[in-house]
Amino acid sequence: MDNRNPLIMLRDLELKGRQGTQVVLPETQPVTGLSGLAFVAGGEHLFIPLDELKEVYSYVRHPKPTSVPNAKPWLVGMSSLRGQLLPVIDLAQFLELGRVNSKRLGRVLVTKHPRAAAGLLVDDVVGLRHFTSLQKAQKGPAFKGRVANFLNEVYHQDDRYWGSVSVYKLAQHPEFSTAIS
């Protein structure tokens, strides 16, 4: 595979085309992609694929969740979202990364899973990210806490590693599933 800058490669192809030189493009494998909402939780850069998310809302602009007596410390409380009861979980604390740094800036990511509808409170939402199969890391960094238990894949983009959090793996975890049922 050619590791040169893509712009330089395009310029070289254009020059060869103008000179009448036959241009032979290298065989390539199809590049697949994955889009997700990137966020920060406990200092870790993560994302959830878009097909596992329902919506995002600001923590401070939504009514405060009702606390649940004797609940795990990472269960912030129960909230109502258009009539649906939704457990709100401090994702950083659940992943053993500490508490969400600033609930004032926090966002709640509402998951789309038949058995695991939950609101995941995160420190900050970075935005929509598109990852390609070429950016998939064969070996990424060691994530803190128990993040690695809930990742599908790791991608390298913009000099940073992004872990793909699986809502399905979260839903299968005994503590998580008990809290949301």
168 has a pLDDT exceeding 60: yes
Domains in the chain (CATH in brackets) are 31-180 (2.40.50.180)
Alpha helical stretches, state H, 19-131: 91-94
pTM value?
Answer: 0.79
What's the rounded mean pLDDT across residues 142-157? Answer: 92
Token pair listed for 44: 């870790």
**Res 149: pLDDT:** 92
Label each residue of 122-161 as H, E or C. Answer: ECEEEEEEEEEHHHECCCCCCCCCCHHHHEEEEEEECCEE
Confidence check: pLDDT of 29 > 70:
no
pLDDT single digits (tens) 50-78: 999 999 998 888 888 999 998 899 999 99
DSSP letter for 66, please.
B
* pLDDT tens for each residue of 81-93: 888 888 999 999 9
pLDDT at 39 over 90: yes
